[in-house]
Amino acid sequence: MERFIQTTAFKKQAEVLKEFDKALEECEKETFKEIDTKFNFCKYQEEVSKEHPVEDLTQMYNEIKSLINSKEIAMQEVRKQLTEMALAFQNLKENLNKEFEDSLEMKECLNYVVERIVDATEGTVDDQTFVQKKKEIREMKQELPEGYLPKRIFKSTCKHIVEVSGTSFNLKYIQEWTGHKNHNIIFDSDKDGIQSETFNNCLLNKKNIGIIYIDKKDNVFGYYSPLGITKIGDYNYDNNHFIFSLKREQFETGKQFFAKDNVKCGILLREEDDILSWLGNSDFGFACYKPGKDESFFRKLSLVYNDIDDVYLNDTNYPIEFGVKRIVVMQFIN
């Protein structure tokens, strides 16, 4: 606060406030006087002679007019200073808002540095020590308001960053959630095509599978199952799976969402069909159409998964449809 009251905007506000107070004080001297304390109207009535009535009345009128004008001039000065004060206050408010936004941006930068320290620490100590160190380092992060959208886009040097079709996303979240540090890419729709058979075969009977979907607005989200997929054309129910968000509106998110306890759900791989997969259950979830088909949609994710809004992953919910431009399947390993 000490730094803020030293700003030019704050000093200007204080100066204008003094000028306004001064103008108001001057105005009060005139405005709050009773008019007959300055002019004795009875006297004027007595002094209006029969010989010079017009001249006498004119003199009275001019003096009254002069008084009214002096009051009006005083009020004009008050209005002028009031306008100046309003402008100064607006400038002060804008500076205060900027000060607040700058402090949030500084917190954002600090949080970025903290995460890079975590990345740099990994591999320098044993796994158990790293878990503790990571927790201690992240305690340095600054709290940002709920719903705050980052103002800066940092070029990350993190070794867990993967770039696909010009879209980069950070795998460190999946690695932290699952405990698996490495991965193999076993399917990429840009390289392997979009045939259901190819997609299904790469997933069948493999554990620790992550399916990553990238939509046309570069939102990155997906599905992870430690148990894997054992059948085609029917639901692979799995209480241990979760869906996740890695990137939303160009910013890292790193959030996972588990199925509700009372909901039976998983993943369904379709055979020859424009729909490659369906996450959730037969009523609600995510229908993923093949890349090139702008018909994918989410339907009431909040009824299947915990702690997620229906539109969280990419700001859509049925009947709004969208296009998935690329699908990457990874198998995570130690």
**pLDDT tens over the chain, length 334 residues:** 455 556 666 666 667 666 766 766 666 665 555 544 555 555 545 555 556 666 666 676 677 667 666 767 766 776 776 677 667 667 666 666 666 666 777 777 777 777 767 766 766 677 777 777 777 877 887 777 766 666 555 444 454 555 544 556 778 888 888 888 888 889 998 888 888 888 898 889 998 999 999 999 889 999 999 988 888 888 899 888 999 998 887 777 888 899 998 888 999 998 878 888 999 888 899 999 998 889 999 999 999 999 888 888 988 999 899 999 999 999 988 7
Q: Please, are residues 306 and 271 in contact by the beta-carbon 8 Å criterion?
A: no
Residue 54's pLDDT is 64
Angle between helices 53-121 and 8-31 (to 10 degrees): 160
Same domain for 199 and 297? yes
Q: Is residue 128 part of a domain?
A: no
Same domain for 179 and 64? no
Q: Is residue 95 part of a domain?
A: yes
Residue 173's pLDDT is 85
Residue 30's pLDDT is 57
Residue 25's pLDDT is 66
Same domain for 37 and 160? no
How many independent structural domains does the chain possess? Answer: 2
Same domain for 319 and 209? yes
Residue 305's pLDDT is 93
Q: Is residue 140 part of a domain?
A: no
Q: Is residue 245 part of a domain?
A: yes
Q: Is residue 137 part of a domain?
A: no
Same domain for 110 and 161? no
Same domain for 177 and 88? no
Same domain for 109 and 217? no
Residue 98's pLDDT is 64
pTM for this entry: 0.55
Same domain for 58 and 106? yes
The span from the first CA to the last CA of the chain, in angstroms, equals: 51
Residue with tokens 């993190």: 158
Range of the domain at 259: 155-333
Nearest Cα to Cα of residue 215 among 143, 164, 272: 164
Same domain for 99 and 242? no
3-state secondary structure of 58: helix
Same domain for 224 and 278? yes
